[in-house]
């Protein structure tokens, strides 16, 4: 006589059984004698299964909404120009243009905040020459916008 199966939710990673949050079927003796009393799993009732599926759908909807917002920000920023006038001599800038300054200007102009780590300057260093420079703004891990920075020199 084969043992019937019980559906359980794994509460912590268990080798050869499953990862935390996984919903699996295990034999009734394994569930009742080991997993459930040990606090490693809990039995899934139809109500609990419906709640888990609802939470999963809600999480997927939120992820989709965040991705749509990221694409909207990308469309808004991609190809935009920002102009900076900095003190310098010839084509050289005194000091340089850093990520913080670029982030502040993007926030002022478009009301979108970027952290310093999300702004990638050319060659990974401060902009120290006049001219047009391509800068990448990381919106999410997989989404980025390209903007152009034009630096002009004020020799006063």
DSSP assignment of 84-144 equals EEEEEETTEEEEEE-HHHHHHHHHHHH-----GGGEE-GGGS-EEESEEEEEEEESSSS-E
- The answer on 85 and 146 residing in a single domain is yes
Range of the domain at 119: 73-154
Residues 136, 77 contacting (CB under 8 angstroms): no
Nearest by Cα to 73 from 122, 150, 143: 143
Among 48, 67, 86, the domain-final residue is 67
Measuring CA to CA, which residue among 116, 109, 118, 126 is closest to residue 145? 118
Q: Are 97 and 126 within one domain? A: yes
Q: What is the reported pTM?
A: 0.68
Domain total in the chain? 2
> What is the per-residue pLDDT for 48?
87
- Kindly report the CATH number assigned to the domain that includes residue 126: 3.10.430.100
The per-residue pLDDT of the chain, averaged, comes to 91
pLDDT of residue 154: 86
pLDDT value of position 2? 62
Q: What pLDDT, in 10s, does the model give residues 125-150?
A: 899 999 999 999 999 888 999 999 99
């Amino acid at each position: 006589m084969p043992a019937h199966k019980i559906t359980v939710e794994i509460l912590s990673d268990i080798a050869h059984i499953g990862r935390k949050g996984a919903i699996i079927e295990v034999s009734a003796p394994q569930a009742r004698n080991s997993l459930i009393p040990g606090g490693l799993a809990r039995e899934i009732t139809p109500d609990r299964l419906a709640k888990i599926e609802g939470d999963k759908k809600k999480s997927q909807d939120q992820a989709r909404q965040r991705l749509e917002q990221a694409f909207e920000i990308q469309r808004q920023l991609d190809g935009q120009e920002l102009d900076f006038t900095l003190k310098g001599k010839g084509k050289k800038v005194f000091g340089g243009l850093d990520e913080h300054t670029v982030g502040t200007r993007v926030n002022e102009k478009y009301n979108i905040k970027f952290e310093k780590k999300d702004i990638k300057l050319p060659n990974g260093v401060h902009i120290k020459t006049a001219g047009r420079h391509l800068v990448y703004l990381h919106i999410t891990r997989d989404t980025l916008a390209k903007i152009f920075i034009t630096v002009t020199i004020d020799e006063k």
